[in-house]
């Protein structure tokens, strides 16, 4: 039997490569920097399905995820850890989807499964209605780490994917120069990564993805490693390309922790729950493009999503005007948020300085420049202790919260102990 050789270039981590080498063996997640890898592999003609059915290329559904679950083995054979559970999702042509969720909700894992870099433990992924076998050749991916090869110039880094595909030199040079021009790096073709700023490096990452002309562009927190101004500028340029119908992909799927970013860029925001990751619901961003930050509807959508993110039991119906119902839960079953006392105290003091001890969460997040996961953990702790209440995207201190934020150090210690024992049954049961 003959074995065709395929060269595929992707931006994915070393752990993903290991998963592809051993598709029947799940690998542990490791904190490994993403690198641009050229992965040469052999697959039987009978075991790979190549997208050559051009009759389906105009299909509205580009990628379909059907009841996908993903489990990883725990150390020493102590069972498995479920990252994703029964996830179903469709990526359609002409839309931008944002995957939004806390750490541990499996957003990046889901992205890699749709890219064909990880195999689902259950369920399947369809590309143009056909089961995905191996890396999805219709997608390209941009990660938060720049993943540039330091010994190559900007142009050589951008050409890397085309070179791996066997594209002739003149053709790939022309394509690379065009992609470099799109991202605004003309004049820097011969520069090396060490000579570029963080924003410029990420532009190279976008150009390397654009040059492949993917049907779907995956972006895994592409702006999180950049400073605020650079992030805002690059995000706006990506949105301008999409709105001008000049974006070199039919659809975008972006993983983000930033709620305002999701509402600004996306047509649909998919909210994931955590441990295990599951889809809680979707919110349609029913705003004319470009999405205006100052539009009242923009603020309503942001507040709704903040409410959903700060209340894990909130029912995400997608109806922004309808409040979700909070399901009852045993207090002993509630996970304790990971937050420091100093962080809780600092947040309460900031909110306490506002009129009526009430603050808008999006404005508060922008002011203190905290990662959303960190802010939500602190908010969860403050609410759990009875120091604050969250409603419709606002946080307001309770009477005890105001007292804690303004009293002496010794008094605050007594208050914290009292609230912890009153509101966290597992602590009181140990006393």
Position 30 confidence tier, pLDDT thresholds 50, 70, 90 = very low
Mean pLDDT of 79-84: 91
Amino acid 333: pLDDT: 55
Strands 358-360 and 139-143: unpaired
Give ∠ CA 19-25-26 in degrees, rounded to 5: 65
Position 53 confidence tier, pLDDT thresholds 50, 70, 90 = very low
pTM: 0.66
Mean pLDDT of 335-354: 85
Contacts of 108 (CB under 8 A, 6+ apart): 220, 255
**For residue 154, pLDDT beyond 70:** yes
Position 430 confidence tier, pLDDT thresholds 50, 70, 90 = low
Percent of the chain clearing pLDDT 70 (strictly above): 81
Amino acid 334: pLDDT: 61
Amino acid 375: pLDDT: 82
**For residue 243, pLDDT beyond 80:** yes
Q: How many CB atoms lie within 10 A of CB 268?
A: 19
Contacts of 181 (CB under 8 A, 6+ apart): none
Mean per-residue pLDDT of the chain: 80
């Amino acid at each position: 039997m003959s074995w065709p050789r395929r060269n595929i270039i992707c931006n994915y981590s070393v752990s993903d490569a290991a998963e592809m080498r051993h598709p029947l063996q799940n690998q542990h997640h490791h904190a490994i920097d993403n690198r641009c890898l050229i992965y040469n592999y052999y697959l039987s003609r009978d075991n790979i399905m190549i997208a050559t059915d051009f009759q389906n290329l105009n299909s509205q559904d580009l990628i379909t995820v059907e009841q996908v679950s993903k489990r990883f083995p725990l150390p020493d054979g102590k069972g498995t850890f479920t990252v994703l559970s029964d996830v179903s999702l469709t990526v359609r042509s002409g839309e931008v989807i944002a995957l939004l969720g806390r750490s541990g909700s499996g957003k990046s894992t889901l992205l890699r499964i749709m890219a064909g870099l990880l195999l689902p433990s259950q369920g399947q992924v369809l590309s143009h209605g056909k089961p995905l076998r191996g890396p999805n050749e219709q997608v390209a991916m941009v990660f938060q780490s720049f993943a540039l090869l330091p010994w190559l110039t900007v142009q050589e880094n951008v050409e890397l994917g085309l070179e791996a595909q066997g594209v002739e030199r003149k053709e790939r040079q022309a394509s690379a120069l065009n992609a470099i021009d799109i991202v605004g790096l003309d004049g820097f073709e011969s520069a090396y990564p060490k000579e570029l700023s963080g924003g410029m490096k990420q532009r190279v990452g976008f150009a390397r993805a654009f040059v492949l002309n993917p049907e779907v562009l995956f972006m895994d927190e592409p702006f999180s490693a950049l400073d605020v101004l650079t992030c805002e500028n690059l995000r706006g340029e990506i949105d301008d390309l999409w709105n001008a119908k000049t974006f070199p992909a039919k659809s975008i799927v972006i993983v983000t922790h930033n709620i305002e970013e999701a509402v600004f860029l996306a047509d649909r925001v998919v909210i994931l729950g955590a441990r295990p990751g599951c889809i809680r619901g979707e919110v349609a961003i029913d705003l004319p493009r470009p999405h205006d930050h100052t539009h009242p509807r923009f603020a309503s959508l942001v507040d709704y999503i903040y409410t959903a993110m700060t209340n894990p039991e909130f029912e995400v119906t997608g109806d922004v005007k309808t409040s979700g119902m909070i399901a009852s839960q045993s207090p002993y079953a509630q996970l304790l948020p990971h937050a420091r006392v100093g962080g809780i105290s600092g947040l309460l003091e900031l909110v306490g300085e506002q009129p009526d001890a009430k603050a808008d969460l999006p404005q508060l997040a922008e002011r203190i420049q905290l990662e959303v996961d960190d802010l939500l953990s602190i908010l969860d702790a403050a609410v759990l202790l009875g120091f604050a209440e969250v409603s419709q995207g606002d946080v307001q201190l309770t009477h005890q919260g105001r007292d804690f934020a303004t009293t002496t150090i010794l008094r605050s210690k007594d208050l914290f102990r009292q609230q912890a024992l009153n509101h966290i049954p597992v602590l009181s049961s140990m006393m």
